[in-house]
Amino acid sequence: MRIMRKILCCCGVLAVLVWGACSASDDLPNDESIGDTAPPDTHVVDTTTAPRDTADTADTAPPATESDGPATPTDTGTPTDDGTPTDIPGTDDTSAPIQKVFFDDFSYSSVAEPAFAAQGWYVRTGGGGPGVTDCRWESEQVRFLSEPADEAVQLMRLVATTDGTGAGSVQAEVYTSRQFFHGTYAARVRFSDQPAEGSVAGDGLVQAFFTITPWSMANSPEYSEVDFEYLPSGGWGRATSTLWQTTWAQAEPVSNTHDAQEQSHAGWRVLVFVVTDGEVRYFVDGVQVASHGVPYAPVSIMGLHFNHWFIDGMLKPESGTRSWYQDVDWVYHVADVALTPDAVLQRVTAMRAFGLERWNSMP
């Protein structure tokens, strides 16, 4: 029965991907140009880990090219072991899909489960920015559970915990190696405005879904970064809850452009960004909220990340341990195709209807 279920699942996925490849009505305008420009030959996986000097990058300082907004990139880390995981579902010769797709609904028991690494995920540990001075990143802050309101839905939870001090602050991040460029990116994410554990509210923190090149490329014209970042307690020149969309041309010196919506986005949100040759379009719950062009649009292959971290200088001084939650229901990417948010939801729904928990046919 298990073998038959796998066969039916793979057949269903192939049907979804074939349907997606043949249906142009779901695509955004001008998608025919996607993928026409290949990444330069120098775009190889960088195995160098170069943590940022957090003393030189104040999280609240304005960027060099904007009146306000993110002053530093979302993340500096790259995998310390950036080898390509093996045994990835859907990559054998008999079931290779028509399109390059990355999908995960995070049906794992823990980050130690072999399937998590086989899908291509890494968990960040140790120190380094971004975040408050002396903070650390721990694998225990990444958890998997059923949605309390619907046990059939599995979630990944990124937990940010603090006692009001840098040394007492623990952050969370998961990421892949560099394998993403043009195409459609989407995730269903639950943001939070209040700590889920503890009574002290108002800590400055960032809940993010983004793609990025390694920090070793920070001062290179090949640097690329595309960010959705939610600041529930404000920050970066804003006093209230704000959802940012930021696209980076370079990290050192800072060169970015951004848009921001100053209102609460607590609860479930479907975040979509579409990367084409020379443009990035951002959507929240099906509505376009930003469009960024040259020279900020990505020019390099990137890794895909989720993280949850505290803004330096914005911890509440009150003592008492508190934890904030950022939940992720699923993530989806299709390379070299520009989909509408509705088309993304149709594909994810179809894949789940076939019982698919994850798929990775990226190179």
Q: How far apart are CA 71 and CA 103, in angstroms?
A: 31
Q: How far apart are CA 246 and CA 217, in angstroms?
A: 18
Question: In this structure, what are the phi and psi dihedrals at residue 12, rounded to the nearest 5 degrees?
Answer: -65, -45
State the amino acid at position 1 in one-letter form: M
Tell me the CATH number at 109: 2.60.120.200
pTM: 0.80
- pLDDT tier at 152 (50, 70, 90 boundaries)? confident
Residue 67, pLDDT above cutoff 80: no
With vertex at residue 228, the alpha carbon angle to CA 223 and CA 230, rounded to the nearest 5 degrees, is: 130
Query: Could you count the other beta carbons within 10 Å of the beta carbon of residue 62?
Result: 15
Residue 80, pLDDT above cutoff 90: no
Residue 3, pLDDT above cutoff 90: no
pLDDT the model gives residue 68: 53
| Segments forming the whole domain that contains residue 71 | 2-360
pLDDT tens per residue across span 202-240: 999 999 999 999 999 999 999 999 999 999 999 999 999
Among 339, 303, 147, 337, smallest CA distance to 214 is for: 303
Q: How far apart are CA 265 and CA 189, in angstroms?
A: 10
For residues 220, 224, 230 and 233, what is the CA-based torsion angle, rounded to 10 degrees? 10
- Helix 2-22 / helix 341-353 crossing angle, nearest 10 deg: 160
Number of compact structural domains in the chain: 1
Q: How far apart are CA 243 and CA 245, in angstroms?
A: 7
**Residue ranges with strand state E in 163-314:** 170-175, 183-191, 205-212, 225-231, 242-250, 255-262, 267-276, 279-284, 287-293, 303-310
Residue 356, pLDDT above cutoff 70: yes
Q: What mean pLDDT do residues 165-181 have?
A: 97
Q: Is residue 94 within 8 Å of 347, Cβ to Cβ? A: no
pLDDT tens per residue across span 85-121: 223 232 333 343 468 999 999 999 999 999 999 999 9
Residue 190, pLDDT above cutoff 80: yes
Give the C-alpha distances (Å, rounded to integers) separating 283 from 7, 38, 269. Answer: 35, 25, 10
